[in-house]
Amino acid sequence: MNLLFKIGFLDISIVNIIDITLVSILIYQVYKLMRGSVAIKIFLGFLSIYLVYLVVNAARMELLSSILGQFMGVGVIAAIILFAPEIRKFLLIIGRSSILSNENVLQELLFWRKKETNAFNITPIIEACKSLSGTSTGALMVVSRNTELKFYAESGDLIDAIVSKRLLISIFNKYSPLHDGAVILYNGKVKAARCILPVTEKEVPAKFGLRHRAAIGMSEATDTLVLIVSEETGQVSMAKNGNILHNLSFQEVREMLNNYLTGVDIDDKFEMISPFTNRKLKSRPAEA
């Protein structure tokens, strides 16, 4: 063991430094995952008790260490039950960021196929958004780059039709039986309509309704870009990775869609959801 220095009765080595660093990164990532939800308070409570347990155990306080040790043993089972949704979300994030989660990558590895781009003509989506926004017609569109999202597509009505402006407007017409739910777009096609999306458990600003909450929840669970047209204001928003961009111009929507479909990292352009701070709304250009 490569000893670096000593702190009292503790021997600090290179391995200890790496171990502490990795644990700190893991705890920070878990904190980011749960920030803004009720679960963060429970997590901080467990973390505080565990830190106290480590201190009393290192100080050889036998009685208190034994009591806290028994609590921590039961606490692991309790934590799994209490944090079941967060654990599921954490595993989903790991799974969707894994190289093996990309169906196209698997095909390339197995069959040595040439990599193809999943970009397609997004003009019908932009034109449909303009019409829907102009008439304050609510819409929810999930754009997927890597997968067909069969689980969510099967919750609605399968369509498998080429994307067009008229088709999207017809689906989201308030008198259409397909308007209540989300549309899933993949590889230039409308895979399904009237799809049910998971709703986020985060605390979000009051100005965001159920449509925005579903968009944020879907972006948390999958590696998708979700497009929202507000029924109340006609404003266009986008959600990705649990974050949101509000009141976008149509030129911004086009750029974000193009970047996402061509594999450009756009996560840093989205704002974190906070129930206490609202972004100052900007005026949207009349044309883009």
Taking only the tens place, the pLDDT of each residue in 64-84 is 888 887 777 777 777 777 777
Distance CA 83, CA 171 (A): 37
The larger pLDDT score, comparing residue 135 to residue 105, is at 135
Distance CA 211, CA 172 (A): 13
What is the phi/psi pair of residue 269, to 5°? -85, -10
> Given pLDDT bands bounded at 50, 70 and 90, which one contains residue 169?
very high
How many CB atoms are closer than 10 A to CB 203? 12
If you average pLDDT over residues 88-117, what whole number do you get? 53
Distance CA 66, CA 104 (A): 52
Check if the beta carbon of residue 244 is closer than 8 Å to that of residue 270: yes
- Residue 248 corresponds to which tokens in the numbers above? 């976008």
The pLDDT value recorded for residue 285 is 43
Percentage of the chain modeled with pLDDT above 90:
28
The pLDDT value recorded for residue 200 is 86
The pLDDT value recorded for residue 275 is 46
Burial class (CB within 10 angstroms; exposed 0-12, middle 13-18, buried 19+) of 180: middle
Cα 267 → chain centroid: 10
pLDDT at 41 over 50: yes
User: How do strand 157-162 and strand 224-229 relate by DSSP bridges?
Assistant: unpaired
If you average pLDDT over residues 262-276, what whole number do you get? 71
Q: Which residue has the tokens 């679960």?
A: 39
Check if the beta carbon of residue 40 is closer than 8 Å to that of residue 31: yes
The pLDDT value recorded for residue 190 is 94
DSSP SS3 for 190: strand
Distance CA 266, CA 241 (A): 10
